[in-house]
Structure 1
């Protein structure tokens, strides 16, 4: 997904990267229509007997209105699909991040109590679950992003241009097998890269995990099952009440709902009858544009220019709709899922960083407060903080 400065007029006007206006097919089509318009104007000026002409413009206007309405309608639907994809993607990642944050907060409080009681076995179990869940949450994100990047809409573009049924696509994918995405360990990842092509993980899956993922027809649900299994197994060790712990499962469920809403857009294409009919109407109207424009302008200069831009406006709007209808993939204007995944991994790393524990639980100095740091605080905040401070440990 390209980011750009909307205030840079000339850069925006002339930028070719990600543009549909400067594509070869658009420019060639526009130049052909303009040349056809120039030829018709030359035939009229030469008074050819067979020069095409129209007696009334109602028919072309009616066709133009129908084509314009259909293209605008399709573009509006395409933008709705694109925005819905971005919205559900943010829902998916925010809910999964919330679930991990809640688990880590609950487990850290429990870990502190277990250390005070010197329950070493419980400490080991919780630390193990923390590490496993952190790794599996990153793996879950990678599998989800890869699944969305290779939805049915994207696969049909890569494999062939033929029309296929969903059952045929399913059989072909099962015969091909499940391939794992390109993954790299976080310690080996170069953050200075301008383009993120691999999915960053805290550690790569084990051979047993890779084998299970390859055999699975739904890798996302498989990794989600691993996460739920770990949460259920550690539930008895966490000191937080079960009704409060259930919030973690609710957030995981909400994240899966967001993923499946994204999957709906990645797998369900725009209806073929509408797209085919619109393309036929657009081609028919484009062929008639020169005749319509030249007969009424009667100009060698203005006529071809109007033919070019009238064709480009309608053709490019249709191309924009095609870009927006399938927002997941590797095209320039598609949503960058590896970038979303990297931000999610950074979120997991931030929440689980050891400095968080040192700041929130500094040990014996937990109640120690430097009064000089309160000098610039509002009186109400100072009073509220003073009520929680052990006065025997104040540093003056």
Structure 2
């Protein structure tokens, strides 16, 4: 838009003013380009420095968020692994190699049937055309189908929709190169592997410990990233339930729902462009409404009691600290009551350290979200862009004899300066400058799917049987 207005001004100046492009030095408004060159160089350094600083802020914010999520995902996965060592899993826990140190061979193969390139291409085309994930089959409660009509509600098993653990979801396919049972029996010096795709859980739903662990870690991540978007206090972004296997939230704003696009993007292109040029579209009310249309999704949903306590916590730091307290209290309580088996205390203490590291990275990201780009530098670059928009047409008028070529050079010169300036503006606030902000809702969905993996149980090839003669030898 600035480039178009600048070029339009040059054209109207020449055509409506009944003047021609200057042909001699006496008619030129600017007698020598060196003076203008010095100004252009100064403006170039000013805008380039702003772009570099803006990109540094954007990259640092992206790094902090990814490292924060990595720390907290480690906490959830480690808790799930430690919980599998509890006494309640003694009946289904796989045997340990340490019980048979004298056996050095394992009768197993990890060769996998490889699909042809054409089959792979067909699968990719089908996935792109459908633009959806396979339907997820919920695990069944042993007392009956909890989702059946008329079934009594169960606040615990209903809390988190559980993913399917069938062979299709996990991509398991029986290898055609696997040894036959007869061949395996002939090798009496090997441990014989028994594959269990359900992780030994016999299709039972995850324990309440795992469900609560996944819920609290998902809630911690959602609350942290929602506060980074800097919504108006008291009107926080709604938190809703996450359904495993649902499509990723769109990163491209053009792929949002039609209602959101009409309201925030395509209501009037010219009006929205002008509002964006003067930063009016970034006011707190509009940003908060736009964020409300992109809620964060939490495993197991969020209860009214949790929402009330989060709203009572004043300020972003207090809200995140409250959920962090819930997580650490949960870890301490369950550790003292045997939910993590015989895992030693120093190992468990690493979990609280990981949570603390995640909080540190959250506050690093919050620093960028709440401390704006230096105001004097921003104003200087804005003023310089306005001056360039006015000055370049005068320069083109003074040293170019062809109106069409002068307009062409003017347009792309101003476009370059104004474009770099606008890119710098978009990058300097990575959590607020929608629609070019970081895709936090997509990060949250990927984080949730990472937490769900703890439901898969033990490694599917962790079970094996000992040949009779070796078992007798061991006895």
With normalisation by structure 1, the TM-score equals: 0.70
Residue 211 of structure 1 pairs with residue 312 of structure 2: no
C-alpha displacement at 1:317, in angstroms? 0.4
Is the 2:228–2:365 contact (alpha carbons within 8 Å) kept by the matching residues of 1?
Answer: yes
Residue 102 of structure 1 pairs with residue 199 of structure 2: no
- 1:58 matched to which residue of 2? 34
Residue 392 of structure 1 pairs with residue 471 of structure 2: yes
Moved more, 106-115 or 213-222: 106-115
Distance (whole Å) between structure 2 residues aligned to residue 360 and residue 245 of structure 1: 27
Cα offsets for 1:146-203 (capped at 9, x unmatched)? 1112x2xxx5xxxxxxxxxxxxxxxxx5xx525352413426x843775683322222
C-alpha displacement at 1:252, in angstroms? 1.0
Distance (whole Å) between structure 2 residues aligned to residue 225 and residue 182 of structure 1: 19
- 1:159 matched to which residue of 2? none
- 2:224 matched to which residue of 1? 144
Distance (whole Å) between structure 1 residues aligned to residue 391 and residue 248 of structure 2: 52
Q: Higher helix fraction: Structure 1 or Structure 2?
A: 1
> Matched residue pairs, number?
313
Distance (whole Å) between structure 2 residues aligned to residue 46 and residue 314 of structure 1: 25
- 2:364 matched to which residue of 1? 261
Residue 233 of structure 1 pairs with residue 290 of structure 2: no
Distance (whole Å) between structure 2 residues aligned to residue 109 and residue 26 of structure 1: 65
Cα offsets for 1:269-317 (capped at 9, x unmatched)? 1111111122112212321111212222222221111111110000010
- 1:89 matched to which residue of 2? 65
Is the 1:37–1:307 contact (alpha carbons within 8 Å) kept by the matching residues of 2?
Answer: no
> CA 1:252/1:193 → structure 2, altered by over 3 Å: closer, same or farther?
closer
- 1:131 matched to which residue of 2? 211
Distance (whole Å) between structure 2 residues aligned to residue 272 and residue 66 of structure 1: 19
- 2:404 matched to which residue of 1? 301
Moved more, 26-35 or 138-147: 26-35
C-alpha displacement at 1:206, in angstroms? 2.1
Gaps of 5+ in 2: 93-205, 257-293
C-alpha displacement at 1:231, in angstroms? 0.8
Is the 1:40–1:294 contact (alpha carbons within 8 Å) kept by the matching residues of 2?
Answer: no
Match of 1:186 among 229, 243, 250: 243
After superposition, residues 159-178 of structure 1 pair within 5 angstroms as 173=232, 176-178=233-235
Cα offsets for 1:80-109 (capped at 9, x unmatched)? 111111111110111101111111111111
> CA 1:58/1:228 → structure 2, altered by over 3 Å: closer, same or farther?
same
- Secondary structure of the structure 1 residue equivalent to 2:297: strand
Gaps of 5+ in 1: 1-24, 117-125, 156-172, 371-388
Is the 1:40–1:291 contact (alpha carbons within 8 Å) kept by the matching residues of 2?
Answer: no
Distance (whole Å) between structure 2 residues aligned to residue 247 and residue 390 of structure 1: 43
Moved more, 39-48 or 229-238: 39-48
- Secondary structure of the structure 2 residue equivalent to 1:201: strand
- Secondary structure of the structure 1 residue equivalent to 2:322: helix
> CA 1:244/1:193 → structure 2, altered by over 3 Å: closer, same or farther?
closer
Distance (whole Å) between structure 1 residues aligned to residue 366 and residue 330 of structure 2: 26
Residue 320 of structure 1 pairs with residue 440 of structure 2: no
Match of 2:298 among 164, 183, 201: 201
> CA 1:138/1:326 → structure 2, altered by over 3 Å: closer, same or farther?
same
C-alpha displacement at 1:127, in angstroms? 4.2
C-alpha displacement at 1:230, in angstroms? 0.5
C-alpha displacement at 1:112, in angstroms? 4.8
Cα offsets for 1:92-140 (capped at 9, x unmatched)? 1111011111111111112456669xxxxxxxxx944332221111111
After superposition, residues 371-382 of structure 1 pair within 5 angstroms as none
> CA 1:46/1:344 → structure 2, altered by over 3 Å: closer, same or farther?
closer
- Secondary structure of the structure 2 residue equivalent to 1:200: strand
> CA 1:343/1:274 → structure 2, altered by over 3 Å: closer, same or farther?
same
C-alpha displacement at 1:46, in angstroms? 8.4
Is the 1:136–1:227 contact (alpha carbons within 8 Å) kept by the matching residues of 2?
Answer: yes
- Secondary structure of the structure 2 residue equivalent to 1:55: coil
